[in-house]
């Protein structure tokens, strides 16, 4: 399990009724940003794999699909 501080010195701040809304908002923001980053990285990797395949095919056979 990886720990991330959602705000400076966050590991030393207990979640209470008073700060619960702030905690939830920061947690949701972090999860969404992390998820988008992972999906974007996967998309870029896939794009590079496909473009590399098409480049190799063009070099070998002289035509695109």
Rg (CA), the chain: 22
pTM exceeds 0.95: no
Classify burial at 50, counting beta carbons within 10 Å of its beta carbon; exposed 0-12, middle 13-18, buried 19 or more.
exposed
Q: Looking at the domain assignment, is residue 17 inside a domain?
A: yes
Q: Looking at the domain assignment, is residue 5 inside a domain?
A: no
Domain that holds residue 28: 10-61
Q: Looking at the domain assignment, is residue 1 inside a domain?
A: no
Number of compact structural domains in the chain: 1
Q: Looking at the domain assignment, is residue 36 inside a domain?
A: yes
Q: Which two tokens stand for residue 21?
A: 């809304």
Q: Looking at the domain assignment, is residue 33 inside a domain?
A: yes
Q: Per residue in 24-41, pLDDT tens?
A: 999 998 888 887 888 888
**What is the per-residue DSSP string for 13-59?**
S---TTTHHHHHHHHHHHHHHHHHHHHHHHHHHHHHHHHHHHHHHHH
- Mean pLDDT, all residues of the chain: 81
């Amino acid at each position: 399990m990886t720990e991330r501080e959602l705000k400076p010195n966050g590991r030393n701040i207990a979640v209470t009724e008073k700060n619960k809304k702030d905690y939830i908002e920061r947690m949701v923001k972090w999860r969404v940003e992390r998820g988008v980053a992972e999906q974007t990285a996967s998309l870029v990797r896939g794009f590079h794999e496909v473009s590399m395949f098409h480049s190799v095919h063009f070099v070998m056979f002289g035509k695109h699909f």
